[in-house]
Amino acid sequence: MLEVIRNRFSCRSFEPASVSDDALRQILEAAFCAPSANNARPWEIIVVRDAATRERLSQAHQWAGMCADAPVVLAMCGDAEKSPDWWIDDVAAATQNVLLAAESLGLGTCWVGIHAGGGRPETVAREALGIPEHVRVLALIALGSCGVPRPPRPERYEEAAVHWDRW
Ligand SMILES: Cc1cc2nc3c(=O)[nH]c(=O)nc-3n(C[C@H](O)[C@H](O)[C@H](O)COP(=O)(O)O)c2cc1C
């Protein structure tokens, strides 16, 4: 697990090969294993394989272009009625599980932020995917076989950002 955590990186260019149903199922199961506040489990995940829909999602903002390229995009959503105060935290936890599960299966991912950005990115995703009012979109995850070599992973531990017992 620690090796998977260290090796994960944001992949922004993908091979056209599709993701197998088995891999996709394992990745989705990982998402639903995340912790959630009050065990509300507000997750809703839209699996997008349709090229035209991925193209629309790639227009959500200027850093979402890889959604057109990746064979699968997962829209990571949360039911804000089920968890009004914590849906962001809950969906973020599920999103990280997806990134790590994909890495462990040798697949690349990129987290594409959607819920911030003044509302337009979420509106684009909402309209492209037909998402109901009570459901919010936290992020898109571009998923597939990564088309670029694995970058070197320098040490990321930051001693100065760790505070022992108090600030
Ligand atoms: C909340 C969040 C939003 C992000 N949004 C984007 C995005 O829209 N486009 C993108 O290319 N990368 C996005 N990323 C990926 C970050 O750019 C990336 O994690 C960071 O540069 C560190 O690189 P690494 O993931 O390879 O370790 C996002 C990451 C997070 C956590």
Distance between CA atoms of residues 145 and 1, nearest Å? 20
63 C-beta closer than 6 A to ligand 1 = yes
**Does residue 5 belong to any structural domain of this protein?**
no
Nearest CA to ligand 1 atom 19: 10
Provide the CATH number for the domain around residue 88: 3.40.109.10
Each residue's pLDDT expressed in tens, for the chain with a length of 167 residues:
999 999 999 999 999 999 999 999 999 999 999 999 999 999 999 999 999 999 999 999 999 999 999 999 999 999 999 999 999 999 999 999 999 999 999 999 999 999 998 899 999 999 999 999 999 999 999 999 999 999 998 899 999 999 999 99
Residue 20 pLDDT: 98
- The count of structural domains within the chain is 1
**Does residue 87 belong to any structural domain of this protein?**
yes
Q: Which residues in the chain belong to E strands, given as ranges?
A: 43-48, 72-79, 108-113, 135-144
Distance 142 CA to ligand 1 centre (A): 11
Residue 153 pLDDT: 86
**Does residue 160 belong to any structural domain of this protein?**
no
**Does residue 3 belong to any structural domain of this protein?**
no
Dig out the tokens for 8 from the structure.
């994960």
113 C-beta closer than 6 A to ligand 1 = yes
91 C-beta closer than 6 A to ligand 1 = no
**Does residue 153 belong to any structural domain of this protein?**
no
> Which structural domain, as residue segments, surrounds residue 52?
13-147
The backbone torsions φ and ψ at residue 81, rounded to the nearest 5 degrees and listed phi first, read -80, -35
9 C-beta closer than 6 A to ligand 1 = yes
Residue 93 pLDDT: 98
**Does residue 130 belong to any structural domain of this protein?**
yes
Distance between CA atoms of residues 16 and 156, nearest Å? 31
Residue 21 pLDDT: 98
Residue 118 pLDDT: 86
Distance 165 CA to ligand 1 centre (A): 30
